[in-house]
Amino acid sequence: MLLLRGAAPHEKNLREGKSGDILNKERTLFVEVTPVYEYNGSFSALSSSLCTVNNVLENDDLVNNMTLGMVSDSFKAGTVTFAEKFEGMGLQTQLGVFGIQDELIPKFTEGETTALKLQSSFSPFQNIYTDKYCANEILGTQCAVRILGRGPAGDKGSGSISAYFDTDQSSLEIKFWSRGTTDAVMFFYKRDGEYLGTEDVDVVNNLHYSFKREEGDIAGIAIHPKGEATRWHKFGITGICLGEE
């Protein structure tokens, strides 16, 4: 089990103006991040996975009938909508790495808040991309829609992805696809735009994680890839499974 970075009681991270300085503010924050282990396609008996029945990206109609490919604005799967980022978030290109990728600058709020709202890229070639992904490539089974971000050069998988939930969540799971990425850098938000915190999730040793918050107020998550400077950092989402529909 992991705690959200900066998630110790009575601690909050806020950016002061444009200086980049981080301020500490008192608040109670607790997000539980737990790996969900799978063996031969079956979930460990130690975990009761939400993804056994309600992965919105494994919906048969979505997988078999939806037109996939370039997404000009946003992509809706069940009660989850995907786009590049949330309004108010900055986006920059990380320097000193082999591959060109997106790096999100979190949307911090203090005092007043602005409702959380997705924002697509100004260019459809840098917005999200969808394709069909099958865990069993030989048999073409265990298939889902895969969500990929597109980076500054339009490369699939090197860009950021944000997900907005129709209903506030206390429990959810995410299944990742990764190539060259060591961590998925995740930012959590409430529906009013309040920033909850961030977590670097290891996508080398595990690709499936559970996220829980007792307050039940997770409304959106924004993610970008991170990894070694000499490798491309590509990632995608092959599953989002919600506790509240």
Lookup: tokens for 83: 């786009």
**What's the pTM?**
0.82
Residues in Cβ contact with 125 at an 8 Å cutoff, skipping those fewer than 6 apart: 70, 150, 154
93 pLDDT higher than 80: no
CA dist 13 and 25 (Å) reads: 7
Tens digit of each residue's pLDDT (9 = 90 or more) over 45-82: 445 688 888 899 999 999 998 889 999 899 999 999 99
Domain count, the chain: 1
Tens digit of each residue's pLDDT (9 = 90 or more) over 130-185: 999 998 877 777 899 999 999 877 789 888 999 999 999 999 999 999 998 899 99
Measured at the CA of 141, the angle between CA 139 and CA 71, to 5 degrees, comes to 120
Q: Which structural domain range is residue 189 located in?
A: 2-242
Lookup: tokens for 67: 């037109």
Residues in Cβ contact with 230 at an 8 Å cutoff, skipping those fewer than 6 apart: 97, 98
